[in-house]
A and B are shown apart, each in its own frame.
Chain A
Amino acid sequence: MSSHSQSVMCKVRVEMLRPERLVLEKEIGEGETVKDLLNKVATTHKEFVEVAFDLQKQKLTGEMAIVLNGQLLNALETKISNGDVVILIPILAGG
């Protein structure tokens, strides 16, 4: 594990993927944001890049809701901290 004294644990849950739900735990540094977290996940999970986050553009792909600790998120720049739960849910609707 990181020796970074300020690192904290942040649990990331990504839903609506293939039959199995992708549940990850990622380590983050103090002051890091949801966007920083998405970058970390994207570097290790190609599936995640495909469905949720464009590394190059630094933007979400598709229409996506991010729920941070049970509340819909406004901005990717929102800071996260130890024990936070982040859920990404693609919005599929219409007709």
Chain B
Amino acid sequence: MAGTYPTGYAGKVLRINLTNELITEERVDEATLRKYLGGTGLGAKILYDEVPPEIDWDHPENRLIFGLGPLNGIPVAGSGSYSVVTKGTLTGGGTSTQANGHFGAYLKFSGYDAVILQGIAKRWLYLYVHDDTAELRDASHLVGQDTYESEELIKKELGMKEKEMSVVGIGPGGENLVKFACIVGDKGHVAAHNGVGAVMGVKKIKAIAAARGKGRVEVVDGERISTLGKEMIETWKNEPTQSQVYRGGTSFLMLNFLKIGHLPIKNLTTNLYPEEVVRKFTRQEYEKSLKMTPKRCWACPSHHLHMVEVTEGPYKGYVAEEPDYEIWSETSTLIDNQDLGASVMLGDTMDRLGLDGNECGWLISFVMECYEKGILTKKDTDGLEMTWGNVEAAREMLHKIAKREGFGNMLAEGVKRSAQEIGGEALNIAVYSEKGHAPRGHDHRPRWSEQLDYATGGVGTIESGPIAISDLFDVDEVSTKLARVKFRNFVDSLVMCMFPTMTMHVTPGSIERMVEMINAATGWEFTKEEAELHGQRIANLMRVFNLRHGIGTDVERPSVRYGSTPTDGPAEGKGIMPHWECLLDNYYKVIGWDRASGRPLRETLKTVGLEEIIPDIW
């Protein structure tokens, strides 16, 4: 569409039909941009409009959308992120997953606010964007390479040094359509959830490479953006809780979560684990033994992540990106591994193969418990002894999964489908949501808010918050607040990292700061109320998308083990299932959805500005 285009945005959306290798550029009108912002929001709008219910995740007409918002690429921490939206593999429904790093900034500098991939290529390709130009290039030589290797090969081929380009792509997991394949960029930054890597794989796109170039993001008031950015960092450095992330990443959560029963241990068979072992996986301890080199995202001064080298034990010399909390938990207590170096190795293996660490962790722990109980034997597991803590067997199994080889072929379908395939007692011990995906790296059983979010959310992971809850086990408070607060969708539409923006936790002024940044970038008079409404709009849009695609209220519940009551530790007796129907009843009432069918009420859709989709479900 001709005419003015708000600053902050690059001004173009790239659409690529892979079937005929046709590249076109489109513009989005300003009203649509203001309504959907970008990233998750605009992606959800495109997905809804262009992917009808009969289209499955692997159909050529599915869309894979890499989306940015008006703030990506500004010289402020958190603006290097991007959001991926598609119809995902595990739930068969809407998906929104983000990664930080540099790609969100570099794609904008290359001239694009979003990339829409559709069709299926006849040969393996990668997309190269730079200087307002996009080209598809042959990727046959990259097939079989892991995510680190293909990134290096692409940069070498294009003559780019490390910081001159950002590459996001898939490993063997995505190529082989593993249902929980992820997209990995900048060596270790992951858009993890709901099989986005498999969607990329079925389209035969190995990677997208965006050059740093000379581009910059035009904004209305650069000085104000700069001031707000500096204020944000100063606040982050000094905010009592979240400053820990600024100083030392997220590994401190290992110990904290052990104390409140949120740390996932041995496939949720217990909440007890030796504190001195868990302590080893916190930065405070491991910085004494790991050799650490800072690794920073676009414009971010924090000490969140490093490259690390293991200096002792069986994995001495192993170099990888420092795991974040969820990878630490999934590669240690969840599978009963007590060796720090082994965790570094397993996290790196997942990243390189392009497998989502969440699903991997629950899958390996599930197999280990099955093995312990005799549900699976060495004969089933291709000779691998899947005993608790056997990290080498776990490594080998991850490779088998990525190649869909032997027993790995079944596991490549994810926890739920593997449990269904094995049957019997396996269904009682596997940890998954009935929607089809495993949880994140937490024991959600005593965290009712996230357990409920996982069941009711429409994006293949969580979508609500940040919320302040006085009583973690108050049915009314948990469900009411979760239904009311969807700022997460707003932040994911911007697409800004939740750490520096402090939007993951309730931090006074954090949402208001994002709103002010939007206005300084675009010249709009965007309000916090619009941000709030935006979050609700996306939740409703994804809900309707999912309902039309066959995801009903019947799958809004955890598996038997995932919904079980902790039998020991700090959360002993805090079971959610006795309250499950009450939680859902109130959640539906507050959010304005029909309890029986799951449909958003007409009034609700009108309120959030989605009148046009009412006839789709009513």
The 3 closest A-B pairs by CB, nearest first: A65-B260, A51-B240, A90-B241
Q: Which of B105-113, B251-259, B297-305, B424-432 contacts A (4 or more CB under 8 A)?
A: B251-259
Asked if A16 and B256 sit within 8 Å, CB to CB, the answer is: yes
Query: Which one of A92, A94, A95 has the highest number of Cβ atoms from chain B below 10 Å of its Cβ?
Result: A95
Q: With A18-B240, A61-B468 in contact, do A89 and B498 touch (Cβ < 8 Å)?
A: no
The yes or no answer to B449 lying at the interface (CB within 8 A) is: yes
Residues of A within 8 A of B (CB): 15-19, 47, 50-51, 59-65, 67, 70-72, 74-76, 87, 89-95
Name 20 interchain pairs, CB-CB below 8 A, sorted by A: A60-B468, A61-B506, A62-B507, A63-B449, A63-B466, A64-B469, A71-B570, A71-B572, A72-B472, A72-B574, A87-B259, A89-B256, A92-B245, A93-B262, A93-B442, A93-B450, A94-B465, A94-B498, A95-B98, A95-B498
Q: With A16-B252, A62-B241 in contact, do A94 and B471 touch (Cβ < 8 Å)?
A: no
Residues of B within 8 A of A (CB): 98, 240-245, 247, 250, 252-253, 256, 259-262, 325-326, 440, 442, 446-447, 449-450, 462, 465-473, 488, 498, 504-507, 570-572, 574
A15 — which chain B residues lie within 8 A by C-beta? Answer: 256, 259
Asked if A63 and B506 sit within 8 Å, CB to CB, the answer is: yes
Q: List the B residue with the shortest CB-CB distance to A58.
A: B470
A50 — which chain B residues lie within 8 A by C-beta? Answer: 240
Asked if A74 and B471 sit within 8 Å, CB to CB, the answer is: yes
Complex alpha-carbon distance, A40 and B609, angstroms: 47
Q: List the B residue with the shortest CB-CB distance to A65.
A: B260
- Shortest distance between the CB of B289 and any CB in chain A (Å): 20
A74 — which chain B residues lie within 8 A by C-beta? Answer: 471, 473
Complex alpha-carbon distance, A17 and B242, angstroms: 9
Query: Which one of A18, A51, A75, A92 has the highest number of Cβ atoms from chain B below 10 Å of its Cβ?
Result: A92
A67 — which chain B residues lie within 8 A by C-beta? Answer: 259-260, 570
Select one of B241, B449, B450 contacting A92, CB under 8 A: B241
Complex alpha-carbon distance, A77 and B250, angstroms: 32
Complex alpha-carbon distance, A15 and B241, angstroms: 9
Query: Which one of A59, A71, A75, A91 has the highest number of Cβ atoms from chain B below 10 Å of its Cβ?
Result: A91
Asked if A76 and B245 sit within 8 Å, CB to CB, the answer is: no
- Shortest distance between the CB of B578 and any CB in chain A (Å): 14
Select one of A62, A70, A72, A76 contacting B506, CB under 8 A: A62
Number of A-B contacts (CB under 8 A): 99
Complex alpha-carbon distance, A63 and B472, angstroms: 8
B488 — which chain A residues lie within 8 A by C-beta? Answer: 94
B326 — which chain A residues lie within 8 A by C-beta? Answer: 95
Q: List the A residue with the shortest CB-CB distance to B446.
A: A72
Complex alpha-carbon distance, A65 and B261, angstroms: 10
Asked if A72 and B570 sit within 8 Å, CB to CB, the answer is: yes
Complex alpha-carbon distance, A64 and B468, angstroms: 8
Q: With A72-B260, A72-B570, A92-B504 in contact, do A59 and B468 touch (Cβ < 8 Å)?
A: yes
Q: With A72-B472, A95-B98 in contact, do A47 and B505 touch (Cβ < 8 Å)?
A: no
A18 — which chain B residues lie within 8 A by C-beta? Answer: 240, 243
Complex alpha-carbon distance, A62 and B469, angstroms: 6
Asked if B442 and A19 sit within 8 Å, CB to CB, the answer is: no
Query: Which one of A70, A71, A92, A93 has the highest number of Cβ atoms from chain B below 10 Å of its Cβ?
Result: A93
Asked if B470 and A60 sit within 8 Å, CB to CB, the answer is: yes
Q: List the A residue with the shortest CB-CB distance to B447.
A: A91
- Shortest distance between the CB of A22 and any CB in chain B (Å): 9
Asked if A62 and B98 sit within 8 Å, CB to CB, the answer is: no
Q: With A62-B241, A65-B472, A72-B472 in contact, do A95 and B504 touch (Cβ < 8 Å)?
A: yes
Complex alpha-carbon distance, A92 and B470, angstroms: 15
Asked if B469 and A63 sit within 8 Å, CB to CB, the answer is: yes
Query: Which one of B98, B256, B446, B506 has the highest number of Cβ atoms from chain A below 10 Å of its Cβ?
Result: B256
Complex alpha-carbon distance, A67 and B442, angstroms: 18
Q: List the B residue with the shortest CB-CB distance to A75.
A: B471
A94 — which chain B residues lie within 8 A by C-beta? Answer: 450, 462, 465-466, 488, 498, 504
B240 — which chain A residues lie within 8 A by C-beta? Answer: 16-18, 47, 50-51
